[in-house]
Structure 1
Amino acid sequence: MILRHISYMRFLKRTFFVFIFCLLLPVHTQAQKTIAVKTNIPHWATVTPNLGIEVAFRHKMTFELSGGYNPFEFKDDKQWKHWIIWPEARYWLRETFYGHSIGLHGVFAGFDVGGLDLPFNLWPEFKNKRVEGNINGIGLSYGYAWIIGNSLLLEVSAGGGYGRLNYDTFTKGSKGYKTNEERKHYIGPTKAAISLVYLF
C-alpha cells in the first residue's frame, strides 16, 4: 500500500509539472489569451470538492487538468473516499471554449468505498464490504459549451474508454481484514461532467 501511494505521488508531481509547462506556453486564440476555470456540478452532489483549469495553446486546441477529492467518512462504517484526476487535450470544432469539442483524456483515480447501499442495485457488494484500489485509463470524449453570461459558460462532456482496475476487498469498516485481491480490465464510461466555467 505504501509503495502504491509513493508511485501515485510521483505521478501527481509529474502531472503537475506538465500542467505548469502548458500554462507557460503562449496562448494563441482568435480573440485573446484565454484560461478557463471550471467545476463539475454533479461532483458536489457526492460531497466531492473539485476544480479544473483549461488553457488554450494552439488554434482551437486546449489542455485541461481537472480533479476532485473526497476524504470523508460517514456514520455506520460508510465511506465514499476517493480522488480523481482527468488530464485532457481537446479540439474545438467551432472556436475555443464554445460549441462542440472532441478530446483524448486520461483518468487516474484512487478509491476507498464501502458500507453503501447504492440506488438501482449498483455494485451491491459495496453494502457489506469495503473496496480499496485504483484505476488508470484512457478514453475519447465529446463535449459542448454554451455561453450563459459574460465570461460564464455551461459545459457538458462525456467520454468512454479503457481502464485498468486494481483493488483489494475488505470486510466492512475502515479496520476490516482483507478478503480478496482483484485485477480487472474495464471498458465503459471514463468521464462525465456538467461544468460551470469561468473564462478570464
Structure 2
Amino acid sequence: MMHYYRTTQRVFLALLSSCLLLLLPTHGVAQQVALKTNLLYGGALQSPNLSLELRLAPRWSMELGGGANFFFYSTDPSSDRYKTKKISHWLVQPEVRYWTCEAFNGLFFGLHSQGGAFNLGSVNIPFVLENKNGLMKDHRYEGYFVGAGLSAGYHLILSKRWSMEAQLGLGYNWIHYDKFECVRCGDKLNDGVANYLGPTKAAISFVYLIK
C-alpha cells in the first residue's frame, strides 16, 4: 500500500500540472485569469494549495484547484517521522461557475467534481455514513475518493489586482478504502467502500487577478 500511495502522489502532481497548463490562454485575445490560495485549507490542515480560474464568458468561468499535505508525513510506520494522527492526502477539484453580475465580481454559483487519495490515522471524518459510532479514530485507512457537489460564494474586489473570496459547497463522495488494524501497524483487516454526504468545499481565498 505504501507503493500505491507514493504512486498516487506522482499522479497528483502530473495531473495538476497538466490541467493548469490546459487552463492557460492559448491565443492572443485578452483573457482574465485569477490565481488564488485557500487560507482555510492551508491554515487548518497545513496543506499547500493553489487554484487557477479562467473567465470563459462574461458570466461564466472555470476553476481548477488542488492541494496536498503528504509532504509533512512519512508513509513508513517504522520511521521516527511517522505521525499516528494525520490526514495525509492529495486533492484535485475542478469547478464551473456562473456569476450573477460578471466573472470575478460578486455572487456566484458553482458545480464541482473532485478526486484524490488519502492516508488517515487517529481521526474521525464527519459525515461518513458508515461511521455512525465514531470508530474511525481507532484504525488507519488508505484509499481514494471521487465525488461532486454544488457551491455558492462571493468575490470581493479589493483593488485592480487583489481580491478576497468566500465559498461553501455541499456534495457527495464515493470512497474506496483499505482498513488497517491500528494507526501505526501495517496489518490489513479488510477493504470496502463508504459514502460521504456533507461539505465538499469551504474556502476563504486570497486572489490575485491576472489580465
- TM-score, scaled relative to structure 1: 0.82
Farther-moved stretch of structure 1 (180-189 vs 87-96): 180-189
Partner of 1:101: 108
Q: For 1:181 and 1:175, how far apart are their aligned partners in 2?
A: 16
Partner of 1:23: 24
| Aligned partner letter, 2:34 | A
Partner of 1:41: 39
Q: What SS does the corresponding residue of 1:159 show, helix, strand or coil?
A: strand
Partner of 1:80: 87
Shift of 1:91: 1.4
- TM-score, scaled relative to structure 2: 0.78
Residues 159-174 of structure 1 mapped to structure 2, 5 A cutoff: 159-174=169-184
| Aligned partner letter, 1:134 | Y
- Distance verdict in 2 for CA 1:38–1:159, change over 3 Å: same
Shift of 1:24: 2.9
Q: For 1:134 and 1:172, how far apart are their aligned partners in 2?
A: 19
Residues 102-141 of structure 1 mapped to structure 2, 5 A cutoff: 102-116=109-123, 124-141=134-151
Shift of 1:148: 2.5
Q: Which runs of 5+ in 1 are unaligned?
A: none
Q: What SS does the corresponding residue of 1:33 show, helix, strand or coil?
A: coil
Describe the superposition over 1:138-158 as per-residue Cα deviations: whole angstroms up to 9, x where unpaired.
111111111123411111111
**RMSD of Structure 2 on Structure 1 (CA):** 3.0
Q: What SS does the corresponding residue of 1:24 show, helix, strand or coil?
A: coil
Q: Which runs of 5+ in 2 are unaligned?
A: 74-80, 127-131
Shift of 1:8: 8.5
Q: What SS does the corresponding residue of 1:149 show, helix, strand or coil?
A: coil
Structure with more of its chain in strand, by fraction: 1
Which residue of 155, 166, 180 corresponds with 1:145? 155
Identity %, equivalent residues: 35
Shift of 1:133: 1.2
Shift of 1:40: 0.6
Q: For 1:14 and 1:98, how far apart are their aligned partners in 2?
A: 29
Partner of 2:49: 50
Q: For 1:182 and 1:37, how far apart are their aligned partners in 2?
A: 37
Asked if the contact 1:22/1:57 (under 8 Å) is kept, the reply is: no
